[in-house]
Structure 1
Amino acid sequence: MIAIDWTSFALGAGAGSLMGVLFFAGLALGIQLALRTERAALVLALSAALRIAALLVAGWLVAGAGVTALAGFGLAFMLVRLIAISIMRISPPAEAC
């Protein structure tokens, strides 16, 4: 039987949840800022670069704690992604200014 370190998994899941929330909040903020400026591509590219870099750094740090923590990180991030997509599909679109 395979022994799973649940503490490590939970720490990875906590980090994955936090990074998922920050990632998708940053995405929403980047889109809102891009819609208000004439240089939308620059804003979106900078937003993507910052979000991806932060996610990679956090993933790298969690991977140092072991495979179990990394699995928790990935699963929690994907769960937050599923929740974010579900919320966006349910909520009505905002009126254009």
Structure 2
Amino acid sequence: MITIDWPLLAIGLGAGAVAAALFFAGLGLGMRLALRTAHPLAVLLPSAALRIALLLAAGWWVATLGAVALLGFALAFFVVRLVLVAVLRPAQEGEAWN
């Protein structure tokens, strides 16, 4: 029987949720700033590099805790991404929020 270290999974889930929230908040801020400047590449490249580096560092730290924590981290990241995309996507023509 496989045993799951639930506290370690919770740490991974929490770290993944925080990392995803910060990652996508940084993406939104970077896009907002890039759209207001004459040279968007000067904003987008450093923004992407910083977000990716911080996400990798957080993932590396969680991976040192164990595979269960890393699984929780990845799961939380993708769930937060799925929720954000579903909530923030523009409504299609003829579609309205109830």
4+ runs of 1 displaced by more than 4 Å?
none
What TM-score comes out, normalization by structure 1 length?
0.91
Question: How far has the Cα of 1:91 moved from its partner?
Answer: 6.3
What's the C-alpha RMSD, in Å, of the aligned pairs? 1.3
**Aligned partners of 1:65 and 1:84: how far apart in 2?**
27
The answer to whether residue 28 in structure 2 is matched with residue 28 in structure 1 is yes
Code of the residue aligned with 2:76 in structure 1: it is: A
Matched residue, 2:12: 12
Task: Return the offset for 1:87.
Answer: 1.4
After superposition, where does 1:39-58 map in structure 2 within 5 Å? 39-58=39-58
Q: Which runs of 5+ in 1 are unaligned?
A: 93-97
CA distance in 2, matches of 1:61, 1:68: 13
Aligned AA (1:87): V
Aligned residue-pair number: 92
Q: Determine whether 1:37 maps to 2:41.
A: no
Identity of matched residues, %: 55
CA distance in 1, matches of 2:74, 2:22: 14
Give per-residue Cα distances to partners, 1:10-60, cap 9 Å, x unaligned. Answer: 000000000000000000000000001111012111110010000000000
- Distance of 1:91 and 1:42 partners within structure 2: 30
The one-letter amino acid paired with 2:9 is F
> Using a 3 Å threshold, how does the CA distance of structure 1 residues 14 and 91 change in structure 2: closer, same or farther?
farther
Aligned match of 1:80: 80
